[in-house]
Amino acid sequence: MTIYSKIIGTGSHLPDKILTNADLEKMVDTDDQWIQDRTGIKQRHVAGDGETTSTLAIEAAKKAFEVAGITAKDIDLIVVGTTTPDLIFPSTACLIQNALDCPGIAAFDVNAACSGSIYALAVADKFIKSGTHKRALVIGAETLTRMVDWNDRTTCVLFGDGASAIVLEATEEKEGVLSTHIHANGAHGDLLNATVGVSSGLKNEPNGGLKIRMKGNEVFKTAVMTLGRIVKETLKANDMKKTDIDWLIPHQANLRIITATAKKLSMSMDQVIVTVDKHGNTSAASVGLALDEAIKSGKVKRGDVLLLEAFGGGFTWGSALIQY
Ligand code: UT7
């Protein structure tokens, strides 16, 4: 008997504070037109005082539980995709578990940078498929603006904060997560990274010298190439054609990358969920935020076939094919 993971609830949460392109014009040598033309981003949400990755995630989780009609006591696994944990330890998953008051169940973080949403979903799905777990809370949550170099115009205009949550439940019907595909190539680690860390040492600079560094153009090209490959791999694994996909729900890094992937799938932009204009790149939160918005807006309906995909630092990339 094959077990599948069905999505029974989604939720999301964004900080109230919004940083527009006009705000950024006052901070670095940039302009609204350049940001919109090159990335599609108009604004992003930024965590305020007292807001952390876990506080955003807890709100998203509560909304997902409400939609699913369950409480935290009904889940038996928490997997959190994040690159910006509140603390090195306890893990963000443990902080979330404590706040939700569901002690005893397995809870851990997955760090796959912007592919964190897909990695967390893939891991939770495999736990459910193995038969050991029945209901999982899958979170993608980030506060990347806390490690952005606000003097670097090539990166600071790109990122935003937010959290998304998905509740998966075991089912014997062939529905929900049909397949997941995750990959990494550490040889491209230098394309996108944070330059300091616990073991390699912090610097005697503000924030310990923690900054995002990115070779944007190379990331762009690598992303378009790897996404093209993963789309083919996903369709082949499910013996499906491009036309079988109803919705593309991509990682929201750059509208031009999203458009290139849609073109590879011969999909019209009407079948693509785009939130990058409002959220910027929220890393591990982005695919879940887009999925939640697509469901809440009524675009995605039960039975629709969804292709979720993401890429990020590591280099990591992945996809999930879902029959919602
Ligand atoms: O989740 C995964 C994370 N990352 C990504 O997906 C990002 C992938 N990469 C990208 O989205 C794009 O490469 C960027 C949006 C980051 C940059 O766009 P680009 O078309 O690749 O621009 P570029 O880096 O080749 O820079 C073109 C010009 C440069 O000026 P010169 O050298 O031609 O005079 C930059 O200095 O644009 C300049 N530039 C800016 N100008 C105004 C770079 N950033 C800015 C800015 N405002 N914020």
150, 97: one domain: yes
- Residues 108 and 253 both lie in one domain: no
Q: Are residues 64 and 162 in the same domain?
A: yes
Which residue CA neighbors atom 20 of ligand 1 most closely? Answer: 38
Q: How far is the CA of 158 from the centre of ligand 1 (A)?
A: 10
Residue 252 identity (one-letter amino acid): Q
Considering the domain architecture, whether residues 261 and 182 belong to the same structural domain is answered as: yes
Cα–Cα distance for residue pair 70/8, rounded to 1 Å: 9
User: What are the pLDDT digits (tens) for 39-94?
Assistant: 999 999 999 999 999 999 999 999 999 999 999 999 999 999 999 999 999 999 99
pLDDT band at 1 (very low <50, low <70, confident <90, very high): confident
Q: Which of 25-34, 161-170, 206-215 has the lowest mean pLDDT?
A: 206-215
| Cα 171–Cα 66–Cα 292 angle in degrees, nearest 5 | 75
Q: Are residues 95 and 166 in the same domain?
A: yes
pLDDT of residue 195: 83
CA distance 209 to 194: 9
The predicted structure's pLDDT at residue 202: 93
**CATH code assigned at 116:** 3.40.47.10
Give the mean model confidence (pLDDT) for residues 265-270: 95
Measured distance CA(227)–CA(252) in Å, rounded: 13
Q: Say whether both 166 and 200 belong to one domain.
A: no
CA–CA dist 71, 30 (Å, integer): 46
Boundary (domain end) residue, out of 174, 198, 232: 174
Closest residue CA from atom 21 of ligand 1: 217
- Are 234 and 163 part of one and the same domain? no
For residue 156, is pLDDT > 90?
A: yes
Judgement on whether residues 90 and 169 belong to the same structural domain of the protein:
yes
Task: Calculate the CA 200 to chain-centre distance.
Answer: 26
- State whether 108 and 13 are in the same domain: yes
Which pLDDT does position 18 carry in this prediction? 98
Mean pLDDT of 302-314: 97
In angstroms, the CA 269 to CA 273 distance is: 8
Same domain, 75 and 196: no
Residue 283 clears pLDDT 90, i.e. is over it: yes
Mean of per-residue pLDDT scores for the chain: 97
Which one is catalytic: 13, 45, 102, 114? 114
Q: Are residues 192 and 73 in the same domain?
A: no
- Report how far residue 182's alpha carbon sits from residue 235's, in angstroms, rounded to the nearest whole number: 14
Please check the confidence at residue 183 and state whether its pLDDT lies above 90. Answer: yes
Q: Is there a contact between 136 and 167 (Cβ–Cβ < 8 Å)?
A: yes
Check if 229 has its Cβ closer than 6 Å to any atom of ligand 1: no
Q: Please give the full DSSP string across 63-87, using - where no structure is assigned.
A: HHHHHHT--GGG--EEEEE-SS-SS
114 catalytic? Reply is yes
Domain boundary among 155, 174, 193: 174
Domain of 275, in residue numbers: 178-323
Instruction: Kindly report, residue by residue over 95-147, the tens digit of the pLDDT.
Output: 999 999 999 999 999 999 999 999 999 999 999 999 999 999 999 999 999 99
Q: Do residues 18 and 156 both lie within one domain?
A: yes
153 lines ligand 1 (CB under 6 A): yes
Backbone angles phi, psi at 276, to 5 degrees: -60, -30
Total domain count for the chain? 2
Beta bridge partners of 268: none
* Two tokens, residue 30: 């940039």
* Ligand 1 site, residue 286, Cβ cutoff 6 A: no
Given this model, what pLDDT does residue 27 score? Answer: 96
The verdict on whether omega for the bond into residue 311 sits within 30 degrees of 0, i.e. cis, is no
Domain boundary among 174, 202, 236: 174
pLDDT band of 206, cuts 50, 70, 90? confident
